[in-house]
């Protein structure tokens, strides 16, 4: 039997970023790991998620010098909890570190879906896929045949939204992303009917009008600002906007001028609704029931942008903010995962 793990490597925030974060805003350190109490277990992290909301948390919410947190998948390596047996793969929120002590109530023991990779629980079956699913089904209430526009379409939520929209029966699906290569990826591999490069220096409204000449019914907004303004302009009557995020403003230090055409919401009877996926956790079972058969059949595959090695976590985070990822940005800490222990095959 291997010796108990008694230290963890972790990343802390050294100072508040000014605009785009830099590596010097972070520090790596090694700290003692407390022995698990009754009902707790030690988890060795295998996968970490790096997400745009973390940039927002760095401005004030996250305490300087404290261990950072985020969605992760790990394997139980020592346990004092019957519900968390050694070898179990668990989803938890103690990211930005190699090991964590967790309690049963804080984690989800991951089910085993034959043919579905464990890391999908950070991608299509995780908060990313759930955000796209909730945006389309609960917020925008997409109907068959409707035209959909997705911004940051080559990212985690964006790649999920495009493919989920197709499975849900959308009509024309258009996306915007930040390079010609991403635009090709969207149309050639990810099921988008048309796409355009928002960094090409051209008018967003003009590009969107060309990509969706008959207008759009649903907009999944990951960017805000000028993208939201262009989408409102292209929207048909009774359109719906599911506002997921505003990545254009997270590093800007201030909110962009509001879309100048907000009154179009009134004239075209458009509904704009913001939401947080954390308020829709009850949709998780529905998402898995819907998506797992498609993942198993290969009709949809998870698209992850994998950075190798814990020591490259900050690089992965900064790269995601710069737009270097295609699909969900994750960090792989260890070798291939063992099989999950529980069997919850639907
Ligand atoms: N409401 C919720 O509960 C919820 C949950 C999850 C995520 N979100 C939001 O959803 C959005 C996408 O999140 P994600 O995790 O899927 O990240 P992501 O899209 O995988 O990564 C961020 C992407 O944003 C694009 N980007 C960066 N700066 C930009 C700018 N100034 N203008 C336009 N695009 C820019 C980059 O792609 P390009 O190369 O294409 O520019 C980058 O790849 C974020 O706004 C996030 O906050 C919301």
Token digits of residue 266: 């009134």
pLDDT digits (tens, 9 = 90+) for 101-150: 999 999 999 999 999 999 999 999 999 999 999 999 999 999 999 999 99
Q: Are both 177 and 111 inside the same structural domain?
A: no
Residue 335 above 90 pLDDT? no
Q: Are both 116 and 141 inside the same structural domain?
A: no
Residue 291 resides in a domain? no
Total domains in the fold of the chain: 2
In 3D, which of 164, 167, 95, 114 has the Cα closest to residue 135?
Answer: 164
Quote the crossing angle between the two packed helices 225-234 and 204-211, to the nearest 10°.
Answer: 40
Radius of gyration (C-alpha) of the chain in whole angstroms: 21
Q: Kindly state the helix (H) or strand (E) to which residue 222 belongs, with its residue range.
A: none
Q: Are both 145 and 264 inside the same structural domain?
A: yes
Structural contact between residues 174 and 208, judged by C-beta atoms closer than 8 angstroms? yes
Residue 345 above 80 pLDDT? no
The pocket around ligand 1, CB under 6 angstroms, is made up of 51-53, 127-128, 131, 152, 154-158, 177-179, 182, 198, 222-223, 244-248, 275-277, 320, 323, 325, 329
Q: Are both 324 and 260 inside the same structural domain?
A: no
Q: How remote is the CA of residue 197 from the centroid of ligand 1, in Å? A: 15
Q: Are both 260 and 136 inside the same structural domain?
A: yes
Structural contact between residues 113 and 296, judged by C-beta atoms closer than 8 angstroms? yes
Q: Are both 116 and 156 inside the same structural domain?
A: no
Tell me how long the chain is: 346
pTM above 0.75, yes or no: yes
- CA pair distance 224, 259, nearest whole angstrom: 9
Helix (H, G, I), strand (E, B) or coil at 115: coil
- CA pair distance 128, 158, nearest whole angstrom: 9
Domain that holds residue 153: 127-278
Q: Residue 215 is part of a domain; what is its CATH number?
A: 3.40.50.720
Residue 1 resides in a domain? no
Measured from the Cα of 225, ligand 1's closest atom is 32
Token digits of residue 240: 């719906």
Q: Which residues contact 81 (CB under 8 A, 6 or more apart)?
A: 36, 38, 39, 40, 41, 103, 104
Q: Are both 267 and 321 inside the same structural domain?
A: no
Q: Are both 185 and 269 inside the same structural domain?
A: yes
Q: Report CA-CA distances (Å) from 62 to 15, 45, 68, 110.
A: 10, 21, 7, 28
Q: Are both 272 and 132 inside the same structural domain?
A: yes
Identify the residue with better confidence: 45 or 1. 45
Residue 256 above 50 pLDDT? yes
Residue 197 resides in a domain? yes
Q: Residue 327 is part of a domain; what is its CATH number?
A: 3.90.180.10
Average pLDDT, stretch 151-176?
98
């Amino acid at each position: 039997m291997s010796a108990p793990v008694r230290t963890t490597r972790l990343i802390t925030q050294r100072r508040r970023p000014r605009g785009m974060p830099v590596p010097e805003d972070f520090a790596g350190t090694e700290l003692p790991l407390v022995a698990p109490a009754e009902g707790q277990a030690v988890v060795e992290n295998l996968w970490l998620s790096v997400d745009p909301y973390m940039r927002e948390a760095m401005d004030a919410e996250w305490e300087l010098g404290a261990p950072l947190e985020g969605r992760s998948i790990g394997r139980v390596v020592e346990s004092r909890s019957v519900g968390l047996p050694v070898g179990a793969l668990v989803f938890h929120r103690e990211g930005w570190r190699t090991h964590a002590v967790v309690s049963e109530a804080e984690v989800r023991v991951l089910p085993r879906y034959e043919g579905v990779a464990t890391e999908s629980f950070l991608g299509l079956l995780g908060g990313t896929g759930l955000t796209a699913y909730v945006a389309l089904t609960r917020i925008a209430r997409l109907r068959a045949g409707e035209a959909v526009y997705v911004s940051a379409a080559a990212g985690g939520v964006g790649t999920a939204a495009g493919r989920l929209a197709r499975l849900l029966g959308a009509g024309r699906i258009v996306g915007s992303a930040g390079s010609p290569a991403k635009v090709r990826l969207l149309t050639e591999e990810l099921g988008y009917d048309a796409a355009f490069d928002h960094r090409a220096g051209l008018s967003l409204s003009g590009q969107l009008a060309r990509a969706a000449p008959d207008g759009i019914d649903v907009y999944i907004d990951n960017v805000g600002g000028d993208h939201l303004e262009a989408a409102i302009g292209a929207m048909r009557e009774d359109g719906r906007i599911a506002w997921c995020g505003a990545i254009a403003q997270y590093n800007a230090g201030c909110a962009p001028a509001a879309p100048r055409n907000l009154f179009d919401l009134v004239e075209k009877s458009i509904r704009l609704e913001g939401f947080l996926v954390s308020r829709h956790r009850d949709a998780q079972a529905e998402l898995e029931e819907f998506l797992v058969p498609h993942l198993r059949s290969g009709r949809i595959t998870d698209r992850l942008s994998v950075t190798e090695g814990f020591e490259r976590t900050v690089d992965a985070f900064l790269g995601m903010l710069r737009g270097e990822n295609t699909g969900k940005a994750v960090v792989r800490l260890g070798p291939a995962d063992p099989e999950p222990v529980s069997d919850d095959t639907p």
